[in-house]
Amino acid sequence: MSKADQSQPRSPRLRMQRGPLTFFLVAVGVLLTLGEPVNAAPVQDEARQFFERFVAAQNAHDLATVGSMLWNSEDFLWVTRGVQVRGSKTALNVFGSYYKGTWHLDPDTNQLQATALPDGTVQILVPVTFTRGEPGQAAQQATFLISQTIIRDPSGWHVATIFPIADTHLK
């Protein structure tokens, strides 16, 4: 086909045949473009459900379930009672020591904020009232704003960081 032939208007019949394909490609492009925000809510809902299961496992003092929900890494980080705890195995030992006494979490899930971040990561912010006490000691309550980073890998969601913040009302 010469350049002169290529510049000629295409026949209406050819345009009609290409019309459905063009419409389909444009529709797919629009759906792909709009699809990301639609997927954010389910990711945040999954993160919320995971957080609630994590709290339930802690309240049940279920070390095996809590351990399976922690990021299995030496880079796991938890700050508790002013102490930096690194690594999921170390964290599990600390949880075990807490479970010997009183340890109960009561999150205010009405204030839970889940922010979807890139690469299967969600940041959770939620006020939590802790009821805790050493074995044989009276339990005390304290409320903290808890910041958790959770990540999703092929085996599911895992807690990567836990940071308590004394001021439960961010300004």
Yes or no: domain 43-165 corresponds to CATH 3.10.450.50: yes
How high is the pLDDT of residue 33?
44
pLDDT at 13: 56
pLDDT for the residue 113: 95
pLDDT confidence of residue 27: 47
User: Which residues of the chain carry a pLDDT beneath 70?
Assistant: 1-40, 168-171
In the chain, where the domains are located: 43-165
pLDDT at position 167 is 73
From the list 147, 145, 151, the residue with the least C-alpha distance to 130 is: 145
Beta strands in the chain (DSSP E): 77-80, 83-86, 102-107, 113-117, 121-133, 140-153, 156-165
Q: Which two tokens stand for residue 83?
A: 């102490």
Q: What is the pLDDT of residues 26-66, one digit of tens each?
A: 444 544 444 444 455 789 999 999 999 999 999 999 999 99
Q: 85 near 79, Cβ under 8 Å?
A: yes
Q: Which of 57, 82, 60, 83 is nearest to 70 (CA)?
A: 57
